[in-house]
Amino acid sequence: MKQGQRERRNKRKQGQRERRNNRKSRKKGQRERRNKRKKGQRERGNNRRQGQRERRNKRKKGQRERRKSRKQGQRERRNKRKKGQRERRNNRKQGQRERRKSRKQRQRERRNNRKQGERERRNSRNSRDREKEGITGSRDREKEGIAGNRDKEKEGITGSRDREKEGTEGYRLNREALGRREMKPWEI
């Protein structure tokens, strides 16, 4: 290859290299400017959304608080109303109870008086009949020496306690003597 051709080719290649480098640097500049622009858009979008979010949260918080205070007021009014209803019902029931009690009391007294009268009349009638027939009461029997419980004790007729004292084994002593008995199926 001759000297002139080599120089021309080198010059051409040099021009191509420069144009490619210029194009690359231009593209790089465009890319950087576009990235910068996009970054700005992103930040502005984020800021806008952040502001919207904060305003919405603030609004929702206000709504929540107002609803809470409204519910609180409703609850207090309802409780007050229910308390009043409860007290009125209790008073009414108390009155009914007292009236029923006094009515029952009056009925009981009337019944008792009636029963007392009947008892007195029956007793006087029975005592009159017994006196006529010569039937004696328990006091008369004691006077006549017919042995009642007291007389039995005097005569040494022993009850269960006396038997235990005397060593005659009753149920309690028997159980202790035999030791722990076997339990029946229905006692388990």
In a domain, 83, yes or no: no
Backbone φ and ψ of 135, nearest 5°: -80, 130
* Residue 86, domain member (yes or no): no
Q: What is the dihedral of CA 121, 127, 130, 135, to 10 degrees?
A: 150
Bigger pLDDT: 123 vs 59: 59
Q: How many domains does the chain have?
A: 2
Domain of residue 174: give its range.
Answer: 144-179
Confidence (pLDDT) at 74:
96
Q: What pLDDT score was predicted for residue 125?
A: 82
Q: Is 169 a domain residue? A: yes
Residues in the chain, overall count: 188
Please give the Cα distance from 34 to 50 (Å, whole number): 24
Domain assignment of residue 27, yes or no: no
Digit-coded pLDDT (tens) for 49-83? 999 999 999 999 999 999 999 999 999 999 999 99
Identify the pLDDT of residue 123. Answer: 86
- How many Cα atoms occupy the beta-carbon half-sphere of 108 within 13 Å? 6
Considering the domain boundaries, does residue 159 fall inside one? Answer: yes
Which of 19-28, 88-97, 167-176 has the lowest average pLDDT? 167-176
Per-residue pLDDT band at 25 (split at 50, 70, 90): very high
pLDDT reported for residue 162:
56
Query: What does residue 123 show for φ and ψ, rounded to 5 degrees?
Result: -60, -45
Question: Do 99 and 124 fall within a single domain?
Answer: yes
pLDDT tens for 128-166 read: 777 777 665 555 555 555 555 555 555 565 555 555 555
140 vs 46, 64, 87, 137, 145, CA distance in Å? 118, 94, 64, 5, 9
87-119 pLDDT, tens digit each: 999 999 998 888 887 888 888 999 999 999 999
Q: What is the pLDDT of residue 140?
A: 57
Same domain, 130 and 98: yes
